[in-house]
Amino acid sequence: MNGFEFQAITKVAFGEGRSKQIAEDVKRLCRGVRTVLVTDPGLVQLGVPEPILQALRDGGIEAHLFSDVQSDPSSTSIDQAAAIIRQTGADCVIGLGGGSAMDVAKMAALVAGAEHPAEHYALMANPFEPKRIASIMIPTTSGTGAEVTSTVVFSTTEKRKVWGWDADMGPDLAVLDPTLTIALPPHLTAATGLDAIVHAIEAVAGKRSNSMISAFSFEAIRLLGQSLLIAVKEPANLQARGDLSLGAMLAGMAIEQGGTGIAHCIGHALGTLGRVHHGRAVAIALYETYDWNIEANVPVHADIARALGVADQGQNILALAQAGASRYRELVEQSGLKLSLQSEGLSQTDAMRFADIMQSEENAPMRNNNCRSSSVSELEQFAQTILSR
């Protein structure tokens, strides 16, 4: 049995249209009224930040915009956002967007406290200065759970995918407003929603699992499993969008405690190898490793199957666990997620390099936390299988 300590760092506010109350949130949380809103150019084009900026200004809050976050964010984006926070003397940073915008906002809030660049803190090489400003996250996707986690992922100037962590990195408030997620196109709804399902599965099956993680994970798997395909087919279905928002947040709470596993090790390696979208990369990775993982902990995989909606008809628990794997693969296939990586220019000739990256220092925590230990030859086999599609 794993001992643990649990305290949710992030306050969660959920509701249709909840983001309209952002000015009150800032006043409650922050010492002053100066904010920097961090978002990406795609959302600016869709007009998503405008009502939030307006609500801030209507409420007497000074709002500066940093909208240059690219997908798979670079350390440069974090440094730019941190510079704006310093220049404006901001009291609060608001991350609006998917995992990339939220991660930049979260890390910039800490990087702004000193003059070092973001890379100085990669892989916990150096400690941050204590956090001096508040952070609020408003996700526009339902995937990473970055709105409630203390970890960020970014690329170095050498294109290496690394992570940053600090106990202070967890946001002070997460505002879940499902109306902000309906503009997300089906292929991204699929990739981000599957990322969230993988989070919940890997946290509850992982080596650090405990009762808190089970509580978060199984409810996350249930909500995400029942609503993912509905949201893919009916983007404006607010009930389904709400389920995905809650499921992704709960899965974020689960990985905050429990970490992830082999699918994230492989997914991050795939992100380094071919700049594949994070959610798609981990969805593909679990698609190929789910069956291999089951034998390490059959009972938990049987419970995952139940949460995914597989009927328990008295079959033995191994059969039930395997039916869960089939259900997961069905979700991936029916969501329209593309399994082949050929259009990214990847083929089996990249397999050895792919397997090497899986074994790198930055991917060790995920590999080591997985319920089943992997040998080098097994990692090479996964690389071959994934690149053969």
Q: Give the binding range for Zn ion (CB under 5 A) out of 113-121, 188-196, 200-208, 337-345.
A: 188-196
* 3-state SS record for the chain: CCCCCCCCCCEEEECCCHHHHHHHHHHHHCCCCEEEEECCHHHHHHCCHHHHHHHHHHCCCEEEEECCCCCCCEHHHHHHHHHHHHHHCCCEEEEEECHHHHHHHHHHHHHCCCCCCHHHHHHHCCCCCCCCCEEEEEECCCCCCHHHCCEEEEECCCCCEEEEECCCCCCCEEEECHHHHCCCCHHHHHHHHHHHHHHHHHHHHCCCCCHHHHHHHHHHHHHHHHHHHHHHHCCCCHHHHHHHHHHHHHHHHHHHHHCCCHHHHHHHHHHHHHCCCHHHHHHHHHHHHHHHHHCCCHHHHHHHHHHCCCCCCCCCHHHHHHHHHHHHHHHHHHCCCCCCCHHHCCCHHHHHHHHHHHCCHHHHHHHHHCCCCCCHHHHHHHHHHHHCC
Question: Minimal distance in Å, beta carbon 99 to Zn ion?
Answer: 8
Q: Which is nearer to Zn ion, 91 or 195 (CB)?
A: 195
Q: Give the binding range for Zn ion (CB under 5 A) out of 171-179, 183-191, 194-202, 307-315.
A: 194-202
Using CA atoms, how far apart are residues 318 and 8, in angstroms rounded to an integer? 34
Question: Minimal distance in Å, beta carbon 74 to Zn ion?
Answer: 18
Q: Which is nearer to Zn ion, 49 or 145 (CB)?
A: 145
Q: How many residues bind Zn ion (CB under 5 A)?
A: 1
Q: Give the binding range for Zn ion (CB under 5 A) out of 132-140, 192-200, 204-212, 329-337.
A: 192-200
Q: Which is nearer to Zn ion, 92 or 228 (CB)?
A: 228
Question: Minimal distance in Å, beta carbon 366 to Zn ion?
Answer: 10
Q: Which is nearer to Zn ion, 40 or 380 (CB)?
A: 40
Question: Minimal distance in Å, beta carbon 301 to Zn ion?
Answer: 19
Question: Minimal distance in Å, beta carbon 22 to Zn ion?
Answer: 26
Site for Zn ion in 142-181 (CB under 5 A): none
Site for Zn ion in 59-78 (CB under 5 A): none
Asked if residue 170 lies in contact with residue 116, where contact means CB atoms within 8 angstroms, the answer is no
Q: Which is nearer to Zn ion, 166 or 195 (CB)?
A: 195
Question: Minimal distance in Å, beta carbon 252 to Zn ion?
Answer: 9
Nearest residue to Zn ion on Cβ basis: 195
Question: Minimal distance in Å, beta carbon 268 to Zn ion?
Answer: 9
Question: Minimal distance in Å, beta carbon 199 to Zn ion?
Answer: 6
Q: Which is nearer to Zn ion, 49 or 267 (CB)?
A: 267
Supply angle C-alpha 106, 107, 108, rounded to 5: 95
Q: Which is nearer to Zn ion, 177 or 195 (CB)?
A: 195
Per-residue x/- track, 33-62, Zn ion (CB under 5 A): ------------------------------
Nearest to 146 by CA among 38, 36, 218, 251: 251
Q: Give the binding range for Zn ion (CB under 5 A) out of 113-121, 166-174, 193-201, 244-252.
A: 193-201
Question: Minimal distance in Å, beta carbon 278 to Zn ion?
Answer: 6
Q: Which is nearer to Zn ion, 113 or 261 (CB)?
A: 261
Q: Which is nearer to Zn ion, 72 or 195 (CB)?
A: 195
Q: Give the binding range for Zn ion (CB under 5 A) out of 152-160, 189-197, 325-333, 334-342.
A: 189-197
Query: Is 195 a binder of Zn ion (CB under 5 A)?
Result: yes
Inter-CA distances, 208 with 1, 5, 135, 314, Å: 9, 12, 28, 29
Question: Which residues contribute to the site for Zn ion (CB under 5 A)?
Answer: 195
